[in-house]
Structure 1
Amino acid sequence: MSDHHAPYAADPARTRGRLHAQEESPGRTPFQRDRDRIIHSTAFRRMKHKTQVFVSVDGDHYRTRLTHSLEVAQIARSIARRLRLDEDLTEALALAHDLGHTAFGHAGEEALSDKMAAWGGFDHNAHTIRIVTKLEHRYVPFDGLNLTWETLEGLAKHNGPVLSPPWALAEYVAGHDLELSTYASLEAQVAALSDDIAYNTHDVDDGLRAGLFTLEDLLAVPLVAETWGRLTRTYPNAPKDRLRAELIREMVGHLVLDLLGETHARLEALQPQSADDIRTAGRPIACFSDAARTQERELKHFLRTRMYRHYKVQHITDLAKGVISDLFDLYLDDPMRMPPEWSGRAAHAAIPDRVRTVADFIAGMTDNFALRELARLTGRKPIEI
């Protein structure tokens, strides 16, 4: 255990290792190596053309899955440092947490899940595991990235124990036990909450930028109202665009400090002496206070009603679902419509393997590639590129 690590941190020197035995890199810990493999993966690069809420044709400044993941990694790493956790494992989990998302954000996932309903559905967390253990083809000796047990565990259950795993996760853990019934490491818990902090606050920024709601609308949210009131008293003559940036930053800082305070209190109560003590604690140890949880729920409710269900977003969402749904039908009807490396896999496969190969291909698409494919196959352009 490194001197600066707490006893409850994940220890790279005591990793449970990789499914395929490999000599470790002399200049990097196993968790640093995991992070580097994630950054160099094809799936990671594709995230720059996968949007969070808006399709990427709507503007250059909205967040993509890639910029969001970088923001989550920054928040998670700073929290990990304060809690004396393994920063590299925390960062690896933050960078990889969205690898399994489809094009067009949650709209794409819903459409693919509907199409896959008879074959076990589609779940982006489980698909992340599928990508890093099977679908990335970068190494001669094995499929996937051959990440450590701790990284795979964190990706599988960063939101808590998984008692009914989706098929893709169940298929993997049948051969490599990730102990789904327990909590994940504190590093994984921190990465998951950093995701909440990042997307809640940054969706406010994107929603304001897009004109889906106004600052005055937002002041109905107590966390926003408190923060804005403090800022306008401190900077009474500041330009609004700069105050808006300060607002987002202040909200992130408030939630980070609250998370640190509640987590320290839970650590004090538990007195964990190992990472396994965190796993078997029976409740999350990284957590917001009750007050901040309420604030976060209020903000989520505002974003759900005023942004995600806004008629402009809903219109694009409906079009995007149609794109994914139509592509699924076209490829399943004739797998030879897919590129050779995919059509070869699907053409002679039995159902459900053929269906799952089609889903794997679609899930990897960027927004623009999906739109180009539909135009190539049908001539239709429901969303202009």
Structure 2
Amino acid sequence: MRRLTLVGLLGTGLLAARPVVAGTILYATAASQARVDGFCVREGGGLAPAASVHVDTAGMEPRRLVVANGVLFVGELDRVEAFKIGPHGALTPMAATKTITSPAMEVIDMAVAADGQTLYVAQNGPDRIAAYPIAAATSRSWDFTSCIQGRVNGSYRALHIRNGLLYASEQLTPGRIAIFPINAGGSLHDPAECTTPTGKTRPEATPAISDQQRIQRPRSFVFLDDRVYVDEVGTKRIKAFLLQADGLFPPPVKVGKRLRWERPLSRTDPVLAYVDVVLFRSTLLASQFEKGRIDAYRLKPDGRLRRQPTRQTKQDVRTSPVRMAVSDDGVLYVSAGEFDRIQAFRLRQSDGLPATTPFSETDEQTGSFPNDVALAMLSEGCR
């Protein structure tokens, strides 16, 4: 049952790096117990062993945390909740989206617009990406005002916002990363394009303005300059693709009767399928659930991938790492799902390679199965 809480997570996206200073808290999901815990971050980046904050979620299986403008957004099985972050880290419920069941909303990932005014939510139940104005997060019936209609069973896995564009990984064959424009003010398309009235035909999928296809079950992806690095679950590789100056992928070329997409610039050998991938300095850090370790790939000077991990943390199948967060001062926080705790690893400042063992970890939160973490800076000391 506890491993089922992983299902909503396997599309991880990169959490924005936040500096760890006095007055910082790390929030963690307790997915199996429908709760969010908060752990004070000590000077030097270590974690307080016991949680100072506990708040129950209204929905089941919290699986995604995003912090923006003093608010913690929690993605759950059938809704998104918003909690106001207090000066010392306490959480106060302030809003929730309308609940979606049969099928459930199935929140997979969330991203916040650069201006902090819009929350984008990938929902695999209704196969859409919904945009919620954050200023309207004042009640338990918070609703989206624009959207992107996805392909049937498109299976979103990760979202990113970059330079006015929304990037989404989709695992439906042919797997792809699709790009959609964001309008002025943060809106997407009219909500009518994502609504199917009773007895009516479902709207057609919103066309992407660019995509990179034939990626076998893409999951997490991160950006570095003009490149995007993608966890390709189907082949157990990480691949690097080029972006044009406008942020779009090079268009496919017609060869005979078929379209041929740009080949990856570089790729790893088949190693493992990862849950989450984050970037620090020149190193990709990838969490491997089954083996219980973090693989680190230090990029070559030209940005190309090495064939094998440069370094691995000590393997421990008990830890089953899921999502991660990285601070600007070089601490990697890992939600160790089956281990029921959060672990912290130091990263080398010069290149981002991790220490092989954690320097800090929380006490066991028995039966909690943490599957995501998020850092928040506080206006006063954490307690």
For the criterion TM > 0.5, the same-fold answer is no
**TM class by smaller structure:** under 0.3
Q: Name the TM-score, length of structure 1 as normaliser.
A: 0.24
With CA pairs under 8 Å and 6+ residues apart, which has the higher RCO, 1 or 2? Answer: 1
Higher strand share: 2
Q: Name the TM-score, length of structure 2 as normaliser.
A: 0.24
